[in-house]
Amino acid sequence: MYSSDEKYEVVLKSATDINMSNWQITKTLDTMTMVNNKFVILSIINNLINEGVDKKDIFVTDKSFLISTNYKTYFETGNEFWGEQKDIVKMYSLGRLISMEPNEDIFKMNCLFEFYKKLNSVTNKYLKCRIRSTYLADSYNILFRESIEQAYETLLEGAKKQVCDVFERHISPDINKKDMIIKTLENQKDLCLEKSRKKFQKIMRDSRKKFTYTYNRFDRPVVGIYHPDRHYMEIINADQMYKNGEESDTQIKLKRITKNSPVAIAMLVTGPMVAFLGYLLYREHNVNSQIDTEDLFDIPQDQEEAINNILGNDDGNLLDTGNVKAVDVQVKEMAHYNLNKLEIATNKRVVHLEMNIENKITIETK
C-alpha cells in the first residue's frame, strides 16, 4: 500500500467555497515540489548510509540550484566531477560543501575555492578577467598529494603568471600597476591561510548542525558524495537539476488546475512522496479505503513510525513489511522537518486530499 514504485494522481481541492488566489496555488505547488524532491534525496542518503557510505563524505552545498537554469552544461557528460580543467569551475560554482560529519578533505577543498575566489576578485577588479581554470585544476591535484599551503602557492603562481602575460601584451606596459596587482595577490595567500586555520575547529565542531540547517533552509538543495579514494564528487540529485527536472523519474507532474469553485490541483506523484501523502491522507482526511480492512490497522499512528517505514523500506512502503532498514537519526530529523511542511500544504481546513492509483484514474474527456 502506497509504495514508491507506484504512481498516483493526487488531487487537492479547496475545502471552502472561497477560491484560492494565484499566489496560494503557486505556493502550494512549490511546497509540494520542494518536499517531494527533499524526500527523494533523504531516501537516497539513507540508502547510501545503509550501504556503508561514510556520513562525512555526504555533503550539501551552500547554494540552491536555480529554477531559471537547466544545468545542461553541468551534467551533459554525467553527474561526476573529477577536479580536472573541464570540471573544476563547475565544482567551484556549486558553492561551499558542508558535510554531514567533519571531513578534512572537504574543508581543504572549500579553502582552495575560497582562495580562488579572493584571487579572482583582484584580477577582475584591475584587469577585468578571471584566473584560468587550468591553474585551479593544477592546485586541486596538489591539494591532496602535498598540502594546502603548496596548493595555494601553485594557484598563486598561476595567477601571477597570468597577470604578467596580460601586461606583456601591452605596447607600453604599466610596470607599477603590474607590481601592485601581484603584491595584492600575494597578500591574499597569508590572509586566507590564517582565516582557514581559524575556521577549521569551528567547522569540525559544527558540521552536523550546519548540514541539517542548510538542507532544511534551501528549497532546492544540491547534495552529493565525495569519493576520497580518487578525490572526485558525485551529485546525487542531478536529475532534479538537469533540464529543470523534466527527465527525473520522481518529479511531480502537474496535470491540471481547475479554477472554478472549488479550486482543484491535480498532479502525478511517485517515489517516497506517495507514501508520505498516503500517511497524511488516512490520518487527516476522510477517504474511501483503498486497502484491505486488516491493513488499515497497520497504518502508522505517528510521524516517527511513518518515516521509519517509508525511508526504511526498499520500496518506500508506508506499512511495516518486516524488512525495514535502520533510518539514520539525522536523516529522520530532516524528514520530520519536511513532513511538517507537507502537513501545512495539505491542511484539511484548507484543502481536501484525494489519491487514486494511476491505472485506476478516470480519463476526463471534456
Closest CA to 308 of 333, 344, 283: 333
pLDDT tens track of the chain, all 366 residues?
Answer: 788 888 999 999 988 776 778 888 899 999 999 999 999 999 999 999 999 999 999 999 999 999 888 898 899 889 999 999 999 999 999 999 999 999 999 999 999 999 999 999 999 999 999 999 999 999 999 999 999 999 999 999 999 999 999 999 887 889 999 999 999 999 999 999 988 877 777 777 788 999 999 999 999 999 999 999 999 999 999 999 998 888 899 999 999 998 877 889 999 999 999 999 999 998 877 655 455 445 666 788 899 999 999 999 989 999 888 889 999 999 999 999 999 999 999 998 888 999 988 765 543 322
Instruction: Find the length of the chain.
Output: 366
As a whole number of angstroms, the distance between CA 298 and CA 305 comes to: 10
As a whole number of angstroms, the distance between CA 174 and CA 183 comes to: 14
Please, what is the end-to-end C-alpha distance for the chain in angstroms? Answer: 31
Closest CA to 76 of 90, 58, 61, 57: 90
Q: Is 204 helix (H, G, I), strand (E, B) or coil?
A: helix
As a whole number of angstroms, the distance between CA 260 and CA 221 comes to: 35
This prediction has a pTM of 0.92
Question: Please, what sign has the CA dihedral across residues 213, 101, 80, 47?
Answer: negative
